[in-house]
Amino acid sequence: SYELTQPPSVSVSPGQTASITCSGDKLGNKYAYWYQQKPGQSPVLVIYQDTNRPSGIPERFSGSNSGNTATLTISGTQAMDEADYYCQAWDSSTVVFGGGTKLTVL
């Protein structure tokens, strides 16, 4: 079965750039999606189809996807961005989530 691998945790200082990776076999040939989830809340879509931001998502969130790796980049990270982030892709009639990355802003 298809797997997506994310680092368990990423730390970043306020105002700096955070990059969260998601790795999977030939992931660049599929669309990647990214979700943000804060404690006690439902997930929020922050990037769809590799690079697109839904309305209401700040411009500091961006995405890329090539080869075997999709990357979520948060520029000028703010304290409010501290959350769990999950990547997602579709493969062989199933949806796959990465294990999630806890972003700490310190």
Contact between 84 and other proteins (CB under 8 A)?
Answer: yes
Identity of the residue, 18 or 35, whose beta carbon is nearer to other proteins in the bound complex: 35
Q: Are β-strands 9-12 and 101-105 bridged in parallel, bridged antiparallel, or unpaired?
A: parallel
Q: Under the criterion CB under 8 A, does residue 88 sit at the interface with other proteins?
A: yes
Q: Shortest distance, CB of residue 78 to other proteins, whole angstroms? A: 22
> If you count them, how many residues does the chain have?
106
Tell me: does residue 51 bind other proteins (CB under 8 A): no
Rounded Cα gap, residues 73 and 95, in angstroms:
22
Closer Cβ to other proteins, 78 or 95, answer by number: 95
CB within 8 Å of 1: residues ≥ 6 apart: 94, 96
